[in-house]
Amino acid sequence: MTEPRPFQAAGRLVDFMRQADEPGLINLAAGVPGLDSLPTEELQAAFTRAFVNEGAKMFAYHHPEGDHGLREQLAARLQARGASIRGPQLITVTGCTQGVQLLVSILIKPGDIVAVEAPAYYGMLEVLSVAGARVLPLPVAGPHGFDLDSTEELLARWKPRALIVCAALSNPSGVTIPEEKRPRLVEMCRTHGVRLIEDDIYGELIEDGVPRSLLAWDDGSTVSYVSSFSKTVSPGLRVGVCAPGTLYEDFAARKCQQDLHSAVVSEVALREFLAADALDPHLARLRPRNARRRALALEVIARAFPKGTRASPPRGGYMLWTELPRAVDLAKVREIARKERIVFGAGPVFYTEPQATSSLRLNCAKASEAELVSGLETLGGILCAA
């Protein structure tokens, strides 16, 4: 491959987020859950308990690393997934994006190399672009992600400062690294001095058994973990978590410089939500809902999109990575679809280099079922005519 070089991100997170609450839009673009999937009643009860139990304390300055009780609860969930970690080793963040951005600010200087999946989340690519990083793409091949043999060769050759990976239901490809491959991934990063940043935002949406986190094979010297509750409970809470490992003190200082601490009210409410054992029953309802939406979308794609389109079902979640049989002008398709009040994630924003074929990321959760069907049928017609 050619030498990794600086790049200009093809997508802007702000543009996707501006569409998140636009009225009358069939939003197949931003990776956000539908309003009917949120545990509204349980959250209302949690906020009520938070007000009763905390009172004025909720509206004062707070510990910069986050609510102590919440961090203990989050540590317990990670322990159930194999991690040897305690609450004081965690720092709450305002969503996954803040966690990744802070880790990148610690690790990366302009010109440093960072390895990423290809395709990769456009928001993360934007953070790396702004940081002046050179990106080493690791092509996703098949349902299990990038090939570990070729990855080890690339890590040994290029010595990237970090490898950022969404190990479960990767955004956008949907692939999940099998648990049996995870220890080797951690070990190869340890061997080559590469900080492994695990983005686990979709991990608990897996429907056939949530795998152990990459933290299960590390003591904090190699793996830094980031997740949030934006995809499982509520994006509006803006509560996430980071296990920086040996980067803890630097991370905590930068986090405090940035915002003093995250939103106390949301953290206390989430603590009450978890204390009431509301999360797992909610996930038990959410996973089959996501599965139904994906099945519905796959059926429409099979009959309405160009013949030869591939959309591999992931092990959970609510997004589908769809590869078209030929290259099309997605900018023109996006323009035509926008006039029909339909938006989608166009493939180029998920890459640092042009691709020979065209791909789309489709969110199956935001729109109603009727809107999902009509939106995909209309989009399929546009693609067939392109």
Q: Which residue shows structure tokens 């980031």?
A: 226
Cis link prior to 64 (omega < 30° from 0)?
A: no
Q: How far is Cα 127 from Cα 98, in angstroms, rounded to an integer?
A: 10
Tokens coding 309: 């389109």
Closest by CA position to 201, among listed 363, 316, 80, 323: 316
What pLDDT does residue 13 have?
A: 80
Residues in the chain: 386
What pLDDT does residue 325 have?
A: 95
List Cβ neighbours of 263 (8 Å cut-off, separation of 6 or more): 94, 237, 238, 239
- Residue 239 CB: number of other CB atoms within 10 A? 27
Closest by CA position to 122, among listed 361, 354, 315, 363: 361
154-171 in b/e form (b: 16+ CB < 10 A) is bbeebebbbbbbbbbbbb
Is the whole model's pTM more than 0.75, yes or no? yes
Q: How far is Cα 276 from Cα 270, in angstroms, rounded to an integer?
A: 10
Rg (CA), the chain: 20
Rounded mean pLDDT for each run of 10 residues along the chain, 386 residues in total: 81 79 86 89 97 92 94 98 97 96 97 96 94 95 88 95 97 95 97 98 95 96 97 95 98 95 95 98 96 97 97 94 95 95 94 90 94 97 95
Q: Which residues pair with 321 in a beta bridge?
A: 361
Q: Are 92 and 239 in contact (CB under 8 A)?
A: yes
Instruction: Return the biggest CA–CA distance within the chain.
Output: 60
DSSP structure string for 19-60: TTT-TT-EEESS----GGGS-HHHHHHHHHHHHHHHGGGGGS
294-303 in b/e form (b: 16+ CB < 10 A) is beebbebbee
- Report, in this order, helix, strand and coil percent for the chain, each rounded to 5: 45, 15, 35
What pLDDT does residue 40 have?
A: 96
Q: Which residue shows structure tokens 């989340």?
A: 121
